[in-house]
Structure 1
Amino acid sequence: MTTASTGTALVVSAHSADFVWRAGGAIALHAERGWQVTVICLSFGERGESAKLWRQPGMTLERVKSERQGEAERAATALGVHDLQFWDLGDYPLTLGQESLFRLAAVYRALRPRFVLTHSKEDPYNHDHPATTDFAQHARIIAQAHGHEPGVPVVGAPPVYLFEPHQPEQCRWAPDMLLDITPVWERKLAAIRCMAGQEHLWEYYTRVALQRGAQAARNSERAVTYGEGYQSVFPHVVESLA
């Protein structure tokens, strides 16, 4: 996940809070360095991710969606997101058809991201997450195909990094990249605190950041306090091993 220059980045998030817990540090870090980060929330997480709201008397589906959208918008502002999109494709289950697939392929071609962040390939606790990853990968492939909408320039091969699931061991997810987010931790924490519908996760993801920070310090000569972990999908192409 290079930070040597500026560019565009794409985050494909199943639900409206996922990008905050799992990639908020990467978003804030790159935004501070001048990157334009686009975040696509495929759903509001209105059915399976909003238990606190549903416990309130008289709650409605549209009100839940509105509340979760407001939270995500405030979090995105705290992180410096350039473009936040809500596609409202439902959750539990998330419905991903060909129209949405081509829509995401068009985003790839228009944005030409330098890297893409999305979910783990497996998650036995939440089918929406690996479905989102498959969707994001499929759209990337279509955006590379010369026969899809000929005349529109294809994308190259932006690296894809899978952010940390809630229970990584059960998802067979292991990080091969540890990102130091210490300089932007306060921004990520502010974004986390915007997600009032899932307040029970605030402390959990603070502990995750501390754990990944400790691992990053252990695997480097850096004084790292807070970190995020990512798993690469494709090999890194480099000019030097130093």
Structure 2
Amino acid sequence: MSDNKTALVVSAHSADFVWRSGGAIALHAAQGWQVTVVCLSYGERGESAKLWRQPGMTLERVKAAREEEAKKAAEVLGVHDIQFWNLGDYPIELNNDSLFRLVDVYRAIHPKFVLTHSKKDIYNHDHPAVTDFAQNARITAQAHGHNPHQKVLGAPPVFLFEPHQPEQCDWKPDVLLDISSVWEKKRAAIECMAGQEHLWEYYTRVALQRGAQAARNSEKSIKYGEGYQSVFPHVVETLA
């Protein structure tokens, strides 16, 4: 798959990829990109309050509900490869076995870009743990001495998607993506996440705000946007 247009999204919990990068996923999927989404956790403890309020709820039922929601959202966005690793929640449990598993994913698909969490999130420590994990796996996948029979990874750019409260997380976007053409898909995917209905309108407002900022920094009419923070320098052949 190394010659194909591929992308990797490493999502701490089963809803994160929808709120934070659903527009980017839908936009690239519509252009023929193969997007792999890895959900490391279901968010079964800390992000499923609505489900836990139901009488007789169990941990396994919460996980099943979260997986079903995420699968529906992924289908709406055009994702054909979504993986659920069930690594626990609050706290997420990341060890070397799961690290090398993610390295294998990197080398299997050779993503042209990677999306994952902010480096800091004082409200959810799973998120920075996952971005460190994802970037450690990227480094290992670039190492010639790791499973030398495999083709090593190149240098895919990494973009950190928006945390819930960016000002408190020292997150500042330097990439604004126009998602106006796929907003209806993202909104439909958002509405698949029934367990967190209280966030539907919040992330609609975020998309409008980032869209307004994108329009202000371009010559385009943009209504909906997503913000990202790049990790590495962009290597370009022109500044135009």
Q: Does TM, scored on the shorter chain, surpass 0.5?
A: yes
Alpha-carbon distance between aligned partners in 1 of 2:148 and 2:189, rounded to the nearest angstrom: 40
Please say if 1:11 is aligned against 2:9.
Answer: yes
SS at match of 2:98: helix
- Alignment of structure 1 residues 70-149 onto 2, 5 Å: 70-149=68-147
Q: Is contact 1:12–1:116 with CA below 8 Å preserved after alignment? A: yes
Instruction: Work out the percentage of aligned pairs sharing the same amino acid.
Output: 78
Query: TM-score scaled to structure 2, two decimals?
Result: 0.98
SS at match of 2:83: strand
Alpha-carbon distance between aligned partners in 2 of 1:165 and 1:210, rounded to the nearest angstrom: 16
Residue of structure 2 aligned with 1:224, choices 208, 222, 225: 222
Q: What are structure 2's unaligned runs of at least 5 residues?
A: none
SS at match of 1:229: strand
Alpha-carbon distance between aligned partners in 1 of 2:143 and 2:214, rounded to the nearest angstrom: 37
The answer for the alignment partner of 1:53 in structure 2 is 51
Residue of structure 1 aligned with 2:200, choices 192, 199, 202: 202
Superposed displacement of residue 6, structure 1: 6.3
Alpha-carbon distance between aligned partners in 1 of 2:224 and 2:4, rounded to the nearest angstrom: 23
The answer for the alignment partner of 2:60 in structure 1 is 62
The answer for the alignment partner of 2:233 in structure 1 is 235
Q: Which amino acid aligns with 2:169?
A: C
Alpha-carbon distance between aligned partners in 1 of 2:178 and 2:125, rounded to the nearest angstrom: 29
Alpha-carbon distance between aligned partners in 1 of 2:68 and 2:34, rounded to the nearest angstrom: 21
**Following TM superposition, where does structure 1 have runs of at least 4 consecutive aligned residues deviating by more than 6 angstroms?**
none
Q: Which amino acid aligns with 2:230?
A: S
Please say if 1:28 is aligned against 2:26.
Answer: yes
Superposed displacement of residue 151, structure 1: 1.5
Alpha-carbon distance between aligned partners in 2 of 1:51 and 1:132, rounded to the nearest angstrom: 22
Alpha-carbon distance between aligned partners in 1 of 2:221 and 2:141, rounded to the nearest angstrom: 40
Superposed displacement of residue 82, structure 1: 2.3
Superposed displacement of residue 95, structure 1: 0.2
Task: Output one character per residue of 1:113-163: Cα deviation in whole Å (capped at 9) or x when no partner.
Answer: 000000000000000000000000000000000111111110000000000
Q: Which amino acid aligns with 1:239?
A: E
The answer for the alignment partner of 2:159 in structure 1 is 161
SS at match of 1:121: coil
Q: What are structure 1's unaligned runs of at least 5 residues?
A: none
Query: TM-score scaled to structure 1, two decimals?
Result: 0.97
Change (3 A) 1:94 1:22: same
Change (3 A) 1:6 1:182: farther
SS at match of 2:114: strand
Q: How many residues get paired?
A: 238
Q: Which amino acid aligns with 2:84?
A: F
Q: Which amino acid aligns with 1:218?
A: R
Residue of structure 1 aligned with 2:41, choices 40, 43, 46: 43
Q: Is contact 1:6–1:34 with CA below 8 Å preserved after alignment? A: no
The answer for the alignment partner of 2:148 in structure 1 is 150
Q: Which amino acid aligns with 2:83?
A: Q
Task: Output one character per residue of 1:146-202: Cα deviation in whole Å (capped at 9) or x when no partner.
Answer: 111111110000000000000001110000000000000000000000000000000
The answer for the alignment partner of 1:192 in structure 2 is 190
Cα RMSD after superposing both structures: 0.9
Alpha-carbon distance between aligned partners in 1 of 2:112 and 2:93, rounded to the nearest angstrom: 27
